[in-house]
Amino acid sequence: NAGVTQTPKFRILKIGQSMTLQCTQDMNHNYMYWYRQDPGMGLKLIYYSVGAGITDKGEVPNGYNVSRSTTEDFPLRLELAAPSQTSVYFCASSYGAKPLGHSPLHFGNGTRLTVT
Amino acid sequence: AQTVTQSQPEMSVQEAETVTLSCTYDTSENNYYLFWYKQPPSRQMILVIRQEAYKQQNATENRFSVNFQKAAKSFSLKISDSQLGDTAMYFCAEGANSKLTFGKGITLSVRP
């Protein structure tokens, strides 16, 4: 199993450009997440999904969009990139049980995005 | 809303010694889990240990153990016999319902 795969690993965007961060998992996990990690700030939840066709906002959703058309894929879309979106982005998945600890998160290796 | 606080931004420890990383949390949930994740320079997020809130016994995983004080909402990580490979950022996290809330992290350096 590949686990959680994120592409690209690195990307530099100009202000106002758009892009999609790809995330796919092959573990048949129901729950998928997007986090961003800023220096000294920990990980903040952007969006999450508890199953195909269902998405919900996290703590910092502004400037982002997501979709979940299949169980495997959970892409994150930046429509108008801004310098404040410079960050490291992590995708994660879990089997899905409440509380979350019954099935811990599996993380991808992250995407480092710079907006200049 | 859940909050997780890691008040120490950095710590340093001599190889082979013991170090304790602090974490406090706040939650309105009765049923939740607590976690410590390690992030080495490779950026990979690695689960170190987890604790079920309804279990009084502290979790242990080899050299890693926790001190879980539910009433005080405290969840510290003890690393025994520190190794150079333990050098990393460590995040405390709390999981309730469908989401995980992270602290800001602490950078641990192990000195040879």
For chain B, what are the domain ranges? 3-111
The answer to whether the CB atoms of A99 and B95 lie below 8 A apart is yes
- Say which of A44, A99, A105 has its CB closest to residue B31: A99
Interface check for B96 against chain A (CB to CB < 8 A): the answer is: yes
Show the 3-state SS of chain A: CCCEEEECCEEEECCCCCEEEEEEECCCCCEEEEEEEECCCEEEEEEEEEECCEEEECCCCCCEEECCCCCCECCEEECCCCHHHCEEEEEEEECCCCCHHHCCCEECCCEEEEEC
Q: Looking at beta carbons, which residues of chain A come within 8 Å of B61?
A: none
Q: Looking at beta carbons, which residues of chain B come within 8 Å of A96?
A: 98
- Closest-CA residue of A relative to B32 is A99
Q: What is the pLDDT of chain B when averaged over all its residues?
A: 94
Q: What is the mean pLDDT of residues B52-69?
A: 94
- For B64, the token pair is 């890693």
Q: Looking at beta carbons, which residues of chain B come within 8 Å of A100?
A: 33, 95-100
Kindly tell me if the per-residue pLDDT of B97 is higher than 80: no
Three-state secondary-structure class, residue B104 = coil
Closest-CA distance, B95 to chain A, in angstroms, reads 5
For each of the domains in chain A, give its residue range(s) and CATH number, in order of start: 4-115 (2.60.40.10)
- Say which of B44, B97, B105 has its CB closest to residue A109: B44
pLDDT tens-digit series, residues B5-54: 999 999 999 999 999 999 999 998 888 899 999 999 999 999 999 999 98
pLDDT category at B2 given cuts 50, 70, 90 is: confident
DSSP B51: E
pLDDT tens-digit series, residues A49-107: 999 999 999 999 999 999 999 999 999 999 999 999 999 999 999 987 665 666 788 99
Count the residues in chain A. 116
**What is the rounded CA–CA span in Å between residue B68 and residue A61?**
32
**What is the rounded CA–CA span in Å between residue A30 and residue A33?**
10
Distant-in-sequence, close-in-space partners of B57: CB < 8 Å, separation ≥ 6 = none
Domain B3-111, CATH class in plain words: mainly beta
Interface check for A30 against chain B (CB to CB < 8 A): the answer is: no
Interface check for A9 against chain B (CB to CB < 8 A): the answer is: no
Q: What is the pLDDT of residue B80?
A: 98
Q: What is the pLDDT of residue A99?
A: 57
Q: What is the mean pLDDT of residues A35-39?
A: 93
Q: What is the pLDDT of residue A96?
A: 72
Question: A92, A81, A77, A82: which is closest to A21 by C-alpha?
Answer: A77
Is residue A81 within 8 A of residue A89, CB to CB? The reply is: no
Residue corresponding to tokens 């979106």: A85
Is residue B85 within 8 A of residue B44, CB to CB? The reply is: no
Q: What is the pLDDT of residue A43?
A: 94
pLDDT category at B98 given cuts 50, 70, 90 is: confident
